[in-house]
């Protein structure tokens, strides 16, 4: 059994292994922890009273359920308690705790006891719908292995070797599962780099990899030869990470050719930083000529909010980009709708899916009718689907028109349930007919949103591709596969520049990497340092190390000196520059005129703004504002914004050349 951290990597590992040992095809299992848990539970969860056709809820489904619970308990769906409860559930399940395991002697935050109460309701609702969230896939597996020794022994007989990739990101729950799957003779192989532990915020425990040789009689092999990056890039990364204390000492080396130096840029503004990145990519395009590909380039950053000036610049000069970490394919509205219909073929108790599609396409069923339906189903102790399926047997307050529309929908679902499980034809074709007959395609056409129709068609293409790659699997396996996808699984081949967070880039590699926003407070993150102090700083440094070592040939590092409204301060270069042994040759202004003319188009330099035309503001200048009155300049931000302390209204940030401003007293003399 081999474990890795994304479905995409698991598939690639399996393909590579089978090229070496094709005879092992029937015995080789490569998956993520959660995929293993799902596979285990399909076979064994009946021991806990669940059917094998349980539904897997993703984060969006969880949020919808918690919002529904909050509304039932007298809150509004957007109240703060929803966010608090979701965080409370995640933080406790991450360490293996269910409501019955939690004792609150003294509240750590306001409404903690209320969060626990809503957690209890959440678990009851999940169980009534035969639904599991991602954490349940591991926790229920552990529960069965610990409670049913005969089941554990059966799985121990199947597994002689366990290999775990990216072991540094293992958390306590995952490690507990690994131990339950080991017998005295099991061979355990773990591959990991403590310098790349970047998920402690998600529960990863670095001490597991640092201390594993104390628990097991293990041989440690230090893999210090790097086959990806150039020696220059590795020397930079080594100097950076050597500042961490909690690590296994090693220095990566490489015999790859040293083609480029690490390039650095300290821009005046974020727009100049974006312009520098675009200009360097243009230079690469000229240098590499026929072998140049945009897909060889990645722009990495610590936080998603940094991308806007880069998006604008790349769009302006005509460079193709794709931003990862935003709305993922399987999370798009139309895809979630179609998948909800699919899930009802498997599980009639899935109220979240039923409520999602009850009026999609429109069936004239409003919020009031839905509340009536939920109330009546609850009184009969039935799921929404089960109640509607037999609604003729009950006295319902729903209008006849609504009952007729729902009855038609149920009959369609039931007829396709039979076709899918007869398994006489490819389920991709059956399910496409299913969605057409339900009227969903027609509704999308009426909405005049062609891209949504294309997305649904792409889902069926994806389904067909899955069938070709996995001919022995079925419809439920496909649903499980899409429920367990990650952001990296959405990354496809295409000739575009990839923009993504460093966390998303983990495990990937690119010929050229630009790490942007290397400023104090951004990278390293001020919030992380404030929350975790020195341990937080070490994790930020590991994250930066990961960013540097994504690059094979070219590493480009940049920062700006803009004013940040996020940090409410002027930006300064990250300490990571100095720690990596990088110095700036000089700080040179980067006016837009440096490359507004390019191979991509004509000059598009900004027009001079209309205003007061004052460009030499100094701290201490006295001003008169048409609305705010008299004030004194307390800060000058890149000559374009000034901070003024007004006598009557306090401090405000203003456009420096705004026509409402008049300077009445200049430092060194009157205006």
* SS (HEC) of 446-478: HCCCHHHHHHHHHHHHHHHHHHHHCCCCCHHHH
Please name which of 246, 438, 209 lies closest in space to residue 342, comparing C-alpha atoms. Answer: 438
Residue 656 lies in a domain: yes
Contact predicate 416/438, CB 8 Å: no
The label of the residue with tokens 């292995």 reads 145
Full domain range(s) for residue 535: 263-325+488-597
3-state secondary structure of 445: helix
Residue 652 lies inside a defined structural domain of this protein: yes
By three-state DSSP, how is residue 560 classified?
Answer: strand
- pLDDT < 70 stretches in the chain: 325-328, 423-426, 447-449, 486-493, 586-613, 637-640, 655, 668-671
Q: Where is the domain boundary, 455, 486, 517?
A: 486
pLDDT of residue 661: 82
pTM above 0.95, yes or no: no
Element (H, E) at 642: strand 641-646
Residues 355 and 437 in one domain: yes
Residues in contact with 133: Cβ distance below 8 Å, sequence separation at least 6, in sequence order: 56, 57, 58, 61, 62, 93, 126
CATH number at 37 reads 3.40.50.300
In a domain, 350, yes or no: yes
Contact 571, 563 (CB under 8 A): yes
> Is 606 a member of any domain?
no
- Residue 121 domain flag: yes
Q: Are residues 539 and 556 in the same domain?
A: yes
Domain co-membership, 517 together with 584: yes
In three-state form (DSSP H/G/I as H, E/B as E, the rest C), the secondary structure along 340-373 is: HHHHHHHCCCCHHHHHHHCCCCCCCCCHHHHHHH
Q: What is the dihedral of CA 167, 172, 174, 180, to 10 degrees?
A: 110
Tokens read off for 131: 């639904």
With respect to residue 670, please indicate whether it lies within any of the assigned structural domains.
no
Per-residue pLDDT tens for 220-241?
888 889 999 999 999 999 999 9
Supply the pLDDT for residue 611: 45
234 in any annotated domain: no
Is 134 part of a structural domain of the chain?
Answer: no
Tell me the torsion sign for CA atoms 3, 6, 9, 14.
positive
Q: How far is CA 492 from CA 8, 48, 310, 467, 496, in A?
A: 10, 39, 21, 19, 10
Q: Phi then psi for 330, rounded to 5 degrees?
A: -75, -5
- In this structure, the answer to whether residues 482 and 493 fall within a common structural domain is no
Q: What is the DSSP string of 252-315?
A: -B--S----PPEEEEESSHHHHHHHHHHHHHHHHHHHGGG--GGGEEEEESSGGG-HHHHHHHH
Do residues 436 and 519 share a domain?
no
Report the CATH number at residue 448.
1.10.486.10
Q: Give the end of a domain, one of 439, 467, 486.
A: 486
Structure token pair of residue 425: 């034809």
pLDDT at 604: 37
Query: What pLDDT shows up at residue 669?
Result: 53
CA quadruple 292, 298, 299, 301: dihedral, nearest 10: -170
Asked if 546 and 639 sit in the same domain, the reply is no
pLDDT of residue 489: 53
Distance CA 344, CA 278 (A): 48
Shared-domain flag, residues 186 and 42: yes
The total domain count for the chain is 5
Distance, in Å, from the CA atom of 565 to the CA atom of 203, rounded to the nearest integer, reads 30
Q: Please tell me whether residues 110 and 184 are part of one structural domain.
A: no
For the chain, how far is it from start to end, CA to CA, in angstroms? Answer: 78
Nearest Cα residue to 253 out of 277, 213, 281, 224: 224
**Same domain as 80, residue 41:** no
Structure confidence at residue 498 (pLDDT): 93
Question: Do 463 and 388 share a domain, yes or no?
Answer: yes
Q: Are 389 and 348 in contact, with CB atoms under 8 Å apart? A: yes
Cβ–Cβ under 8 Å, residues 111 and 81 = yes
- Same domain membership, residue 190 and residue 88: no
Distances in whole angstroms, Cα of residue 357 to Cα of each of 353, 409, 413, 484:
7, 10, 12, 22
| CA distance to 8, 440, 458, 477, 668, per residue, from 432 (Å) | 25, 10, 11, 17, 77
172 and 31 housed in the same domain = yes
Among 129, 150, 183, the domain-final residue is: 129
């Amino acid at each position: 059994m081999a474990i890795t951290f994304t479905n995409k990597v698991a598939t690639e590992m399996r393909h590579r292994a089978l090229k070496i040992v094709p005879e092992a095809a029937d015995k080789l299992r490569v998956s993520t922890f959660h995929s293993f848990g799902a596979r285990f539970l399909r076979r064994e969860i009946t021991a806990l009273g669940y059917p094998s056709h349980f539904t897997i809820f993703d984060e969006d489904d969880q949020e919808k359920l918690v919002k529904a619970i909050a509304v039932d308990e007298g809150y509004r769906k957007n109240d703060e308690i929803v966010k608090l409860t979701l965080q409370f559930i995640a933080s406790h399940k991450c360490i293996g705790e269910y409501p019955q395991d939690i004792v609150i002697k003294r509240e750590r935050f306001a409404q903690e006891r209320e969060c626990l109460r809503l957690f209890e309701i959440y678990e009851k609702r999940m169980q009534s719908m035969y639904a599991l969230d991602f954490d349940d896939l591991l926790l229920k597996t552990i529960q069965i292995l610990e409670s049913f020794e005969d089941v554990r022994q059966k799985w121990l007989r199947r597994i002689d070797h366990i290999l775990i990739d990216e072991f540094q990101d293992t958390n306590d729950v995952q490690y507990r599962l690994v131990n339950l799957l080991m017998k005295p003779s099991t061979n355990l192989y773990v591959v990991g780099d403590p310098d790349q532990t970047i998920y402690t915020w998600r529960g990863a425990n670095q001490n597991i990899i640092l201390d594993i040789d104390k628990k097991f009689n293990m041989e440690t092999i230090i893999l210090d030869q790097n086959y990806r990056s150039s020696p220059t890039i590795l020397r930079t990364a080594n100097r950076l990470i050597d500042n961490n204390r909690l690590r296994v000492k090693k220095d990566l080396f490489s015999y790859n050719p040293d083609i480029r130096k690490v390039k650095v840029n300290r821009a005046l503004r974020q727009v100049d930083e974006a312009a520098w990145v675009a200009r360097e990519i243009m230079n690469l395009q000229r240098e590499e000529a026929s072998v140049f590909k945009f897909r060889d380039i990645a722009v990495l950053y610590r936080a998603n909010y940094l991308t806007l000036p880069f998006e604008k610049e790349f769009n302006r000069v005509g460079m193709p980009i794709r931003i990862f970490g935003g709305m993922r394919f399987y999370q798009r509205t139309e895809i979630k709708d179609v998948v909800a219909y699919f899930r009802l073929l498997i599980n009639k108790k899935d109220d979240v899916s039923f409520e999602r599609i009850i009026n999609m396409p429109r069936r004239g069923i409003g919020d009031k009718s839905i509340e009536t339906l939920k109330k009546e189903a609850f009184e009969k102790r039935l799921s929404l689907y089960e109640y509607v399926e037999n609604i003729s047997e009950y006295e319902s307050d729903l209008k006849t028109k609504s009952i007729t529309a729902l009855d038609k929908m149920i009959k369609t679902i039931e007829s396709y349930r039979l076709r899918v499980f007869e398994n006489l034809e490819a389920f991709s074709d059956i399910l496409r007919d299913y969605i057409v007959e339900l009227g969903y395609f027609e509704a999308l056409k009426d909405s005049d949103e062609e891209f949504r129709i294309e997305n649904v068609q792409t889902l069926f293409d994806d389904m067909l591709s899955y069938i070709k790659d996995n001919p022995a699997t079925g419809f439920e396996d496909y649903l499980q596969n899409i429920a367990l996808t990650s952001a990296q699984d959405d990354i496809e081949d295409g000739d575009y520049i990839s923009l993504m967070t460093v966390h998303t880039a983990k495990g990937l590699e690119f010929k050229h990497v630009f790490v942007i926003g290397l400023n104090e407070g951004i990278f390293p993150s001020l919030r992380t340092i404030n929350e975790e102090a020195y341990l937080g700083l070490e994790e930020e440094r590991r994250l930066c190390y990961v960013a540097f070592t994504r690059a094979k040939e070219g590493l480009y590092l940049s920062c700006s000196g803009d004013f940040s409204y996020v940090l409410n301060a002027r930006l300064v270069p990250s300490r990571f520059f100095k720690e990596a042994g990088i110095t700036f040759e000089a700080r040179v202004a980067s006016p837009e005129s440096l490359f507004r003319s390019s191979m991509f188009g004509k000059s598009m330099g900004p027009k001079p703004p209309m205003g007061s035309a004052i460009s030499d503001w100094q701290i201490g200048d006295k001003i008169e504002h048409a609305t705010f009155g008299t004030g004194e300049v307390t800060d000058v931000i890149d000559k374009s914004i000034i901070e003024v302390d007004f006598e009557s209204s306090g401090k405000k940030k203003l456009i420096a050349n705004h026509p409402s401003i008049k300077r009445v007293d200049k430092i060194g003399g009157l205006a």
